[in-house]
């Protein structure tokens, strides 16, 4: 197994690029390198002002970018595709090879994040329309020489096991271990993937809606929560995984110490891989 570790601006609380207290992108890249990672994701379009030399000077590669848009809204289709083209172009400029496709958190689904019995579901027709949008974004990625991967996410219309299964028919998955745990889905059962997001979750800090959980610190350094990373890594080893694993910790900007947390997460993974962590 070849597990290459990366992280990204999300671990500094930068989800959309306009957060109060967000750090400078230069400080984020310095932190990624200081925490011992080999790569970074792009983060929200327009945030990372780096060119290829800014990455190379820190020994970093760009793994890919994300399209975090309301895929569930048919009226947003043109805007979603326009954004996908912009992100794919920027990822290509920096040498990335992956485009992660995420339905944006909606008010209705954020309010029931993690509770499948309470969640409002899309009709079959609306879900099919969302899959068509994902397929169209995947075509944008292919045209740019990138692989598209759909990312199940708490508080969205691709969160629970049945929704993940339908989405996987349209596009390969980017499994996010923390969001799977939030939704009660075993990430080890979805580990036949080429690209991963690794997160951990403290269920005692989960609140009634998704963003409140983030503010409460529900996402924690790897090994400090409920995700069974030993089982996950065993599954990846059995499948001969060879790719990027992006370590993330959803948080509020300017909260905590991202570099210390990311360093702890990396050391935990390295301990599991070496057999020194049970």
3-state class of 95 per DSSP? coil
Q: What is the pTM of this model?
A: 0.96
Which whole-number Å values give the CA distances from 147 to 79, 92, 103, in the listed order? 20, 12, 17
pLDDT of residue 230: 96
Closest by CA position to 68, among listed 100, 112, 110, 22: 100
Which whole-number Å values give the CA distances from 64 to 34, 40, 58, 145, 245, in the listed order? 20, 8, 17, 11, 11
Closest by CA position to 219, among listed 235, 208, 207, 237: 207
Q: Kindly list the averaged pLDDT for each block of 10 residues, start to end, along the chain of length 278.
A: 96 95 97 98 96 97 98 98 98 98 98 98 98 98 98 98 96 97 94 92 97 98 98 93 97 97 98 80
Task: Write down the domain spans for the chain.
Answer: 2-274
pLDDT of residue 268: 98
Q: Which of 3.30.360.10, 3.20.20.150, 3.90.870.10, 3.40.50.10260 is the CATH number of 2-274?
A: 3.20.20.150
């Amino acid at each position: 197994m070849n597990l290459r570790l990366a992280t990204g601006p999300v671990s500094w609380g930068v989800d959309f690029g306009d957060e109060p207290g967000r750090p400078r992108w230069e400080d984020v890249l310095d932190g990624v390198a200081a925490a011992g990672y080999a790569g970074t994701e792009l983060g929200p379009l327009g945030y990372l002002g780096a060119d290829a030399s800014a990455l190379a000077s820190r020994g970093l590669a760009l793994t890919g970018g994300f399209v975090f848009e309301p895929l569930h809204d048919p009226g947003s289709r043109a805007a979603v595709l326009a954004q996908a083209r912009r992100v794919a172009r920027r990822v290509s400029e920096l040498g990335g090879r992956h485009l992660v496709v995420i339905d944006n958190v909606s008010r209705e689904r954020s309010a029931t994040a993690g509770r499948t019995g309470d969640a409002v579901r899309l009709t079959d027709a609306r879900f099919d329309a969302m899959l068509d949008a994902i397929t169209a974004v995947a075509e944008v990625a292919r045209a740019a020489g990138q692989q598209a991967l759909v990312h199940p996410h708490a508080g969205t219309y691709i969160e629970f096991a049945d929704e993940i299964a339908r989405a996987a028919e349209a596009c390969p998955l980017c499994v996010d271990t923390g969001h799977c745990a939030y939704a009660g889905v075993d990430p080890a059962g979805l580990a036949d993937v080429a690209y991963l997001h690794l997160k951990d979750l403290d269920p005692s800090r989960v609140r009634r809606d998704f963003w409140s959980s983030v503010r409460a610190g529900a996402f924690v350094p790897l090994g400090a929560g409920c995700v069974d990373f030993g089982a996950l890594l065993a599954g990846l080893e059995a499948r001969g995984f060879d790719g990027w694993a992006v370590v993330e910790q959803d948080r509020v900007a300017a909260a905590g110490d991202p570099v210390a947390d990311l360093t702890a997460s990396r050391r935990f993974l390295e301990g599991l891989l070496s057999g020194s962590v049970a």
